[in-house]
């Protein structure tokens, strides 16, 4: 089922400027007034307009630094007054929302542990009703697109139309170099379903380490995402949380300047003709693929009928494994990856089994 969202694009919120990337930067956590103001100054000096700082921190272990709490909101207010920046922080409860409204926080984000929790999302949505504060929703820690969309829907139903998302990757136990699995596929899927939704990537929490920030930010830009939320601290090595992944403001400036920003599209006439011709070829191939798939399904149905007449089970041990390994080998010779052909053939095979079952169930 398609879930509609009624969205105001980020370019109309009044504080993000183009060209891409729209940028939100600031420390993982507000620690002291001095640290907040010094970092904000460093960022403001090279044109960052939107500041972030966590005030209430969701930490894995109790006893870790869990944020300075409401007093940090006064420091954010100073950032607004001294540098004219917009300020943002993470909210995870009704109390957080009410405090942020009281102190004039300009933008809120929902953390990955909170967007995974429908009870908390509803509590936050109810507290926001009647305001028009922009809200960015991070992906839930687990790769569940419906949970992510559900969180957006709850806010949207409460009247929040300045909505966007932040892709920060997913928890994983797989051995990967990053702190979180980038799982870009899910981001692309959400982007395709809701092209109007402001789309940020958070390379800091995805990477977990400074050294991967550039490659992950570049990837986000290559996928056409609108912006980046990046952690930046005036003295990263001494940060009270996420020390390894934060950049000084000058290093963030260098990183942003190294990004290659490709156009999402081109108005050039020759480009348009070229891309139209290539797309026309793809359309013809897809049409043929559909016909072939239909033909294959018809044969599957006949096989189902034949098996039924001879009282033979649908799944024949060994046949599918053999077919798949032959296809993997042939695909490799054509330069098609094992992963791709396995996914395609598995989908076709599943449908084939379903069709044959349908034949059996008719009797």
Give contact residues for ligand PEP (rule: CB under 6 A): 28, 54, 58, 90, 111-112, 138, 168, 202, 205
Handedness of CA 242, 103, 96, 170 (dihedral sign): negative
* Binding partner of 162, given ligand PEP, Mn ion, none, CB within 5-8 angstroms per partner class: none
Termini Cα distance of the chain: 32
Out of Mn ion, ligand PEP, none, what residue 168 binds, judged by CB under 5 to 8 A for its kind, is ligand PEP
Is residue 55 near Mn ion by the rule CB under 5 A? no
CB 113 within 8 A of CB 84: no
106 lines the binding site for Mn ion (CB under 5 A): no
Provide CB contacts within 8 A for 232, sequence distance 6+.
25, 26, 27, 39, 42, 43, 246, 247, 248, 249, 252
Helix (H) or strand (E) holding 344: helix 338-361
Least Å distance, CB 174 to Mn ion, is 21
Q: Measured between alpha carbons, how far is 39 from 27 in angstroms, rounded to an integer? A: 7
The residue (of 53 and 128) whose beta carbon lies closer to ligand PEP is 53
When binding is defined by CB under 5 A, the residue of 7, 24, 28, 230 that contacts Mn ion is: 28
| DSSP-derived 3-state class of residue 112 | helix
Among 30, 201, 242, 345, binds Mn ion (CB under 5 A): 242
Between 88 and 156, CB nearer to Mn ion: 88
Nearer to ligand PEP, 48 or 345 (CB): 48
Q: What angle do CA 132, 134, 137 make, to 5 degrees?
A: 130
Q: Is 123 in the site for Mn ion (CB under 5 A)?
A: no
Number of residues that bind Mn ion (CB under 5 A): 2
Least distance to ligand PEP, CB of residue 255, Å: 18
Task: Name the residues that contact Mn ion, by CB under 5 A.
Answer: 28, 242
């Amino acid at each position: 089922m398609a879930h509609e969202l009624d969205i105001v694009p980020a370019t109309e919120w009044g504080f993000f400027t183009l060209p891409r990337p729209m940028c939100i930067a600031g420390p993982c956590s507000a620690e002291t007034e001095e640290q907040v103001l010094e970092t904000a100054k460093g960022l403001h000096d090279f044109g960052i307009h939107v500041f972030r700082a966590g005030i209430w921190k969701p930490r894995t272990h109790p006893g870790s630094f869990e944020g300075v709490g409401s007093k940090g909101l006064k420091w954010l207010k100073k950032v607004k007054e001294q540098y004219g920046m917009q300020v943002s922080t993470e909210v995870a409860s009704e109390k957080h929302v009410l405090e942020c409204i009281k102190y004039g926080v300009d933008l809120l984000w929902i953390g990955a542990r909170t967007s995974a929790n429908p009870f908390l999302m509803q509590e936050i949505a109810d507290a926001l009703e009647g305001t028009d504060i922009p809200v960015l929703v991070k992906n839930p820690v687990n790769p569940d697109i419906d949970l992510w969309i559900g969180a957006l829907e709850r806010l949207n139903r409460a009247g929040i139309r300045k909505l966007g998302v932040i892709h920060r990757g997913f928890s994983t136990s797989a051995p990967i170099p990053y702190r979180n699995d980038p799982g870009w596929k899910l981001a692309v899927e959400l982007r395709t379903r809701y092209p109007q939704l402001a789309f940020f990537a958070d390379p800091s929490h995805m990477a977990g380490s400074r050294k991967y920030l550039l490659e992950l930010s570049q990837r986000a830009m290559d996928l056409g995402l609108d912006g980046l939320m990046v952690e930046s601290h005036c003295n990263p090595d001494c940060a009270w949380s996420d020390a390894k992944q934060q950049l000084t403001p000058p290093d963030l400036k260098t990183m942003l300047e190294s990004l290659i920003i490709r156009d999402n599209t081109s108005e050039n006439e020759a480009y348009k003709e070229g891309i139209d011709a290539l797309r026309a070829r793809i359309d013809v191939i897809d049409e043929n693929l559909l016909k072939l798939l239909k033909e294959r399904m018809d044969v599957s149905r006949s096989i189902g009928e034949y098996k039924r007449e001879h009282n033979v089970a649908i799944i024949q041990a060994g046949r599918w494994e053999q077919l798949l390994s032959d296809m993997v080998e042939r695909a490799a010779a054509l330069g098609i990856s094992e992963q791709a052909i396995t996914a395609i053939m598995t989908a076709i095979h599943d449908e084939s089994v379903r069709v044959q079952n349908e034949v059996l169930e008719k009797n």
